[in-house]
Amino acid sequence: MSETDRSRLSHKIRYATRNPRRIPPYARRLARDAWLRLKTRDHVSYYRAVMKSDATKSPERAVGSKSHDRWLALGKMQFDYLVGHGLEPRDRMLEIGCGNLRAGWRFIDYLDTGGYYGLDISPDILIAAQETIKEHGLQAKMPHLTPVRDLRFAFLPDGAFTVAHAHSVFSHSPIGVIEECFSHIGRVLAPGGFFDFTFDRTEGAEHHVLREDFYYRTETLIGLADKHGLAAQFMADWEELRHKQSKIRVTHGG
Ligand SMILES: C[S@@+](CC[C@H](N)C(=O)[O-])C[C@H]1O[C@@H](n2cnc3c(N)ncnc32)[C@H](O)[C@@H]1O
């Protein structure tokens, strides 16, 4: 959590003075992102292009892990947390923004055959996800991996999932994308099901950096969930794991 507004020029100058070696990669990212924004018509197309560019170099880096060890550890953290919260092999899980299955391969291994359904806007990262399934010998678990253009879940049946999960997805999403998800997730969640997501939390002004990283106040997301008939709860025990993002759990309201 932070109160820093990373989009402010004063923050950027202070940060650059303290971290001069980060200036060239930041400048490259700035130029790349400006070019991709010019070429694309909406946020999802833009972020899909960001993922294409990143996944071509390294799928593990594209999902935010600087090394294979970090990739494994971050996936384990997500998996252990959900199992600690009662995830069972018979659950049916929807993973929104599944990436290259950093946590997904563990869920696939644990859940009964066919119990895992991963969605992502990036075909490139889904190809990398297929590699992960092969590397971990999980073909027989028959996981579903599907590219999507939006978060309406129109092709999925009512009440299909007991658990939905989105790790480090809303941290890259403008509020319209999150609201689209909130307005449709209730339909595909089974009675008693829950949806966990992480977000970059700020206690200051909400802002974004390069339209890649978005910072929200907890009450904004809880209020938005409520508007769509969902009950939202801040997960304080996730904070104990000292991950840089925070977590909210959403269930059917009332
Ligand atoms: C930082 S990665 C995290 C991947 C995975 N959840 C994990 O923890 O390894 C974010 C993923 O979300 C996907 N993504 C971003 N916006 C999305 C959206 N609106 N709908 C579905 N996937 C999205 C990206 O393509 C990327 O694969």
pTM here? 0.91
119 CA distance to ligand 1 centroid (A)? 8
Residue-level pLDDT at 6: 72
Q: Ligand 1 in contact with 178 (CB < 6 A)?
A: no
211 CA distance to ligand 1 centroid (A)? 14
Residues with Cβ within 8 Å of 137's Cβ and at least 6 positions away in sequence, in order, are none
Q: pLDDT digit string (tens) for 188-226?
A: 999 999 999 999 999 999 999 888 899 999 999 999 999
Residue-level pLDDT at 21: 74
Residue-level pLDDT at 23: 80
Q: Which residues of the chain have pLDDT under 70?
A: 1-3
Q: CA 66, 71, 73, 77 torsion: positive or negative?
A: positive
Residue-level pLDDT at 175: 97
Q: Ligand 1 in contact with 138 (CB < 6 A)?
A: no
Question: CA geometry: angle at 81 spanning 79 and 87, to 5°?
Answer: 75
Residue-level pLDDT at 131: 98
Q: Best substitution site from 124, 169, 177 to test ligand 1's pocket, by max atoms within 8 Å of Cβ?
A: 169
241 CA distance to ligand 1 centroid (A)? 21
Residue-level pLDDT at 212: 84
